[in-house]
Amino acid sequence: MQRPSVVFEMPDLTIAGEVVSKAEMDFFCEYGFLVKKRILDPDKLEAALDRIWTHLLAKVPVKPGSAWTLSRDDKQTWKDPEWAEMVPHPVDGPFQGRHPIEHMRRIVKLHDLGSENYILDLLPNDPRVREVAETILSRDLRAITRVRGVYIVFPSEPQSEEKLEDQGRFLGPHTDQVCQQLNACGYLEDVNPRNGGFTVYPGSHKRMFREHRYEANWSPLSSFRDTLKEVAETIEPYEIVAEKGSVVFWHGRTVHSVGVHLGADIRWALFADFTRNQPVLTDEEHKDANQYEWFKDAKLFRVDEPVGDDMWRSWRLGG
């Protein structure tokens, strides 16, 4: 049985004047993630949120005939959105495998905003965010042209009192594909307990790293599935709560899931990928390798290192 999550708040391991303290770096290496609280620029964040709301209201189609309308100012309208049905994913072309906007009941993914300058400026290209990524991974990061997008989780009318022990089955533990080194999840609003917070399996990066042939490229071994299942059954997942403007940095092999959402808030998160600056495959080559995920800026390395004893040999870790 999948283990239920516990609510987790990052302890303060910061040291004034240090981008990533020794204690924070040790935490990242041990648990596979690090939360930097309130590091996004509040002015950029507020302006971005206005634009994201406008985009959401204009672009995500409501179910024909539904009386439901979403309003930013009326929390009552946030529950159980009634979006139009989605047509199947495109099977070829630039959006192969994923629509630019996904709307699946409580989850909306605005991939289409991922290359907007105001989004890039807010998270991956923000100087404070970048210096954390550069300190953890590498001074030479690949230039970022897009992020995955804004991932929104809507609330639902409270269900019958489900026992928390049963909540584990709502989690969808997985690791991400293509090329995975260092990722970031920025919270655009406060994320309160049981309101869909990004959920990580602490320490799982160490196990899952060894379930691949290569350090960063998607290259699972035949034992990958069994190990993932074992992680979901043995590691107690952490649902990360944090204030608006906080950013979760996570190692790309860390098992994670969208969080349990029993509350009344909308969970707003912006997801980005960082990799070292190395030559990468073309779009066509990604399609041939069945690793075409256009909405991520984490492209397969043309040459990647085979997994060896030291899982950190490609990482700067403040050095």
Residues that bind Fe ion (CB under 5 A): 176
| Residue 239 touching ligand AKG (CB under 6 A) | no
Helix axes 22-31, 127-136, angle to 10 degrees: 70
Nearer Cβ to Fe ion (135/175)? 175
Which option in Fe ion, ligand AKG, none does residue 248 bind, with CB closer than 5 to 8 A by kind?
none
When binding is defined by CB under 6 A, the residue of 228, 248, 262, 269 that contacts ligand AKG is: 269
| Residue 258 touching ligand AKG (CB under 6 A) | yes
Minimum separation from the CB atom of position 112 to ligand AKG (A): 15
Which option in ligand AKG, Fe ion, none does residue 33 bind, with CB closer than 5 to 8 A by kind?
none
Minimum separation from the CB atom of position 90 to ligand AKG (A): 18
Minimum separation from the CB atom of position 308 to ligand AKG (A): 26
Nearer Cβ to ligand AKG (25/191)? 191
Residues between 169 and 228 that touch ligand AKG (CB under 6 A) = 176, 198
d(CA 19, CA 129): 10
Number of residues that bind ligand AKG (CB under 6 A): 6
When binding is defined by CB under 6 A, the residue of 33, 151, 201, 274 that contacts ligand AKG is: 151
Nearer Cβ to ligand AKG (207/267)? 267
Nearer Cβ to ligand AKG (135/204)? 204
Nearer Cβ to Fe ion (167/183)? 183
- The one-letter code for the residue type at 168 is G
Nearer Cβ to ligand AKG (109/276)? 109
Which option in Fe ion, ligand AKG, none does residue 151 bind, with CB closer than 5 to 8 A by kind?
ligand AKG
d(CA 245, CA 241): 12
Residues between 79 and 118 that touch ligand AKG (CB under 6 A) = none
Minimum separation from the CB atom of position 65 to ligand AKG (A): 29
Which option in ligand AKG, Fe ion, none does residue 102 bind, with CB closer than 5 to 8 A by kind?
none
Nearer Cβ to Fe ion (126/176)? 176
- What's the chain's Rg over C-alpha atoms? 19
Tell me if 315 sits within 8 A of 225, measured CB to CB: no
Q: What token pair was written down for 125?
A: 């290209």
Minimum separation from the CB atom of position 185 to ligand AKG (A): 7
Minimum separation from the CB atom of position 286 to ligand AKG (A): 17
Site residues, ligand AKG (CB under 6 A): 151, 176, 198, 256, 258, 269
